[in-house]
Chain A
Amino acid sequence: MKTNDVVIKIDGVDFSYDGDLILKDITLAVKEGDFLGVVGPNGSGKSTLLKIILGLIHPLRGMVRVFGQPPEHARHLIGYVPQHADLDYSFPISVRDVVLIGRLGKAPCLGGYRKDDRQAAEEAMQEVEIYNLRNQRFGTLSGGQKQRVLMARALVGKPDLLLLDEPTTSVDGRVEQDIYELLKKLNEKVTIVLVSHDVGFISTYVNRVACVNRSLSCDRTEHITGDVIEACYSGPVHMLKHKCEL
């Protein structure tokens, strides 16, 4: 926040899957303390961009640096919140155990978690206000609660960068607002990149918006105009009218 160090630097990145070019010539710089919203229609490559930042997949061309390092080496500094719809809700696992998975890389290789791992898990659960749910089965929670559990899991490793993939799918408007308020609070300490297909809502919380539709059509957004968004979505979008405060 105080410094303006570059956290994520992406330069001229192409990515293709099965011969289809999904991302084309992406260039993006995220600075410390940013709250960047990545928007774009379904299938535009938003989640792919997140996975490239995580080093889960590698670009065809171009350079990616996270905290000045290749993504694989910076993973211990990144907290990631995937789409929870991809998880198995019938899996018998408690909220606490889900959160503890975020400490797996720091815990000893063999045996159980240490005391400081458990301590960190409790703090993370308190931070996102799910401590009272700690013994519940993950699958029995509501959509918003599940999202908070995955956020706690991302926070338990004390990251400097938080990446979220569609954190508000399958939750209703009020819960969505709660989650964004929570993220805004977290943004005082960590840099956040959030992927969403929902353009309207996030603009009140984020300080920058990037539109992805194969190419990254708009970045630096002191003023986001309807035209830019429309170009990205290739159609009229009526939610976004106001100025985005920086």
Chain B
Amino acid sequence: MFEFIEVLRNHSFMQNAVIIGLLASVACGVMGTYVVVRRIVFISGGIAHAVLGGMGIAYYYGYNPMHGAVVSALIAALVIGFVSLRYHQYEDTLIGALWALGMAVGILFIYKTPGYNVDLMSYLFGNILMVEGEDVRLLAYLDALIILSVLLFYKRFLAVCFDEEYSRLQGIGVVSTYLLLLCLIALTVVILIQVVGIILVIALLTLPAATARYYARSLIQMMILASLFGAVFTTSGLMLSYQPDLPAGATIILIAGLAYLLATVSKGLVSRFHGYRKRY
């Protein structure tokens, strides 16, 4: 604990890590709320895993893998969004295929890249302690873009998520709104990959929002609460993992998962208690 504060005060890598954790919390709180209420966890998972393809290709050709991740995340969002709208009946099979294809492409390119392949593990499981200044700036821009878009399109996203058919009757572009939402989720995924890696992205995207759902009465409340939960999970994860030298990403997810379980169980107990009081 004290050691963590000492490191945080003196070393930029830990400062960067905490900043990224907070940036990620806002993004996952806001966009995770949409993922949870619209029930598109699987679609988001497909986008997240397909991102590895773009990262691998960028890595092979000597570009910044982060840039590859942004491009491939957006492409994956549009392709998967199109598939889920157009071929709704086969949605899960097709997304499962894209999910695996993206990963396979990424692994092939990373494998064929000359040199020592340490990066594959950090893409898959996160490397929050090794993110550099330039990437922090990129993540901050992505965060700003996500928040600005949600501010501008809040009422449309709400309407399309709650009642797609009625939104269509209102004459708004339901398809374009939905694809925009998926693109913003894709950008969120890119931010979260830095924190916990591709494999665990879905957990960080959904657990804070799912926990917040138990206490929120509106979408905006859920977003704020989920962002706060995210901030607590990431910061405490960094704190707890540093001294025993545990992987930060996995520690963060473990804390988030335990908090969600705790919230679920306590919510269940409370409603059971109320049911008991009503009956007797």
Q: Given contacts A82-B166, A112-B154, are A105 and B218 in contact (CB under 8 A)?
A: no
Q: Complex formed: what's the CA distance from A92 to B37 in Å?
A: 8
Are the C-beta atoms of B172 and A104 separated by less than 8 Å?
Answer: yes
- In chain A, residues 67-107, which have Cβ atoms closer than 8 Å to a Cβ of chain B? 75-76, 78, 80, 82, 87-88, 90-94, 97-98, 100-102, 104-105, 107
Q: Given contacts A54-B169, A92-B221, A98-B162, are A104 and B155 in contact (CB under 8 A)?
A: yes
Q: Complex formed: what's the CA distance from A93 to B157 in Å?
A: 12
Are the C-beta atoms of B165 and A56 separated by less than 8 Å?
Answer: yes
Are the C-beta atoms of A80 and B169 separated by less than 8 Å?
Answer: yes
User: Which chain B residues lie closer than 8 Å to A78 at the CB level?
Assistant: 169
Q: Complex formed: what's the CA distance from A94 to B37 in Å?
A: 14
Are the C-beta atoms of A92 and B170 separated by less than 8 Å?
Answer: no
Are the C-beta atoms of A110 and B216 separated by less than 8 Å?
Answer: no
Are the C-beta atoms of B152 and A111 separated by less than 8 Å?
Answer: yes
Q: At the interface, yes or no: B84 with Cβ under 8 Å from chain A?
A: no
Q: Complex formed: what's the CA distance from A153 to B163 in Å?
A: 12
Q: At the interface, yes or no: A113 with Cβ under 8 Å from chain B?
A: yes
Q: At the interface, yes or no: A184 with Cβ under 8 Å from chain B?
A: no
Are the C-beta atoms of A92 and B213 separated by less than 8 Å?
Answer: yes
Are the C-beta atoms of B218 and A92 separated by less than 8 Å?
Answer: yes
CB distance from A188 to the nearest CB of B (A): 24
CB distance from A81 to the nearest CB of B (A): 10
CB distance from A111 to the nearest CB of B (A): 6
Total residues of chain A contacting the partner, CB 8 A? 28
Q: How many CB-defined contacts (below 8 Å) exist between A and B?
A: 70
CB distance from A90 to the nearest CB of B (A): 8
B interface, over-half SS? helix
Q: At the interface, yes or no: B153 with Cβ under 8 Å from chain A?
A: yes
User: Which chain B residues lie closer than 8 Å to A56 at the CB level?
Assistant: 165, 168-169
User: Which chain B residues lie closer than 8 Å to A98 at the CB level?
Assistant: 162
Are the C-beta atoms of B218 and A100 separated by less than 8 Å?
Answer: no
Q: Complex formed: what's the CA distance from A82 to B162 in Å?
A: 13
| B199-228 interface code vs A (CB 8 A; 1 in, 0 out) | 000000000000001001111011000000
Q: At the interface, yes or no: B171 with Cβ under 8 Å from chain A?
A: yes
- In chain A, residues 116-167, which have Cβ atoms closer than 8 Å to a Cβ of chain B? 137, 153
Are the C-beta atoms of B169 and A100 separated by less than 8 Å?
Answer: no
Are the C-beta atoms of B155 and A112 separated by less than 8 Å?
Answer: yes
User: Which chain A residues lie closer than 8 Å to B113 at the CB level?
Assistant: none
Enumerate the 10 nearest inter-chain pairs by beta-carbon distance, A residue then B residue, closest first.
A105-B170, A104-B170, A105-B171, A110-B152, A101-B159, A104-B159, A92-B216, A91-B162, A92-B222, A92-B218
A residues engaging B (CB < 8 A)? Answer: 54, 56, 75-76, 78, 80, 82, 87-88, 90-94, 97-98, 100-102, 104-105, 107, 110-113, 137, 153
With A92-B37, A98-B162 given, name 7 new contacts (CB 8 A). Answer: A56-B169, A78-B169, A93-B219, A101-B158, A104-B172, A105-B169, A105-B171
What would 11 A/B residue contacts be, using CB atoms closer than 8 Å? A82-B163, A87-B162, A90-B213, A92-B213, A93-B219, A94-B217, A100-B155, A101-B163, A101-B167, A102-B166, A104-B159
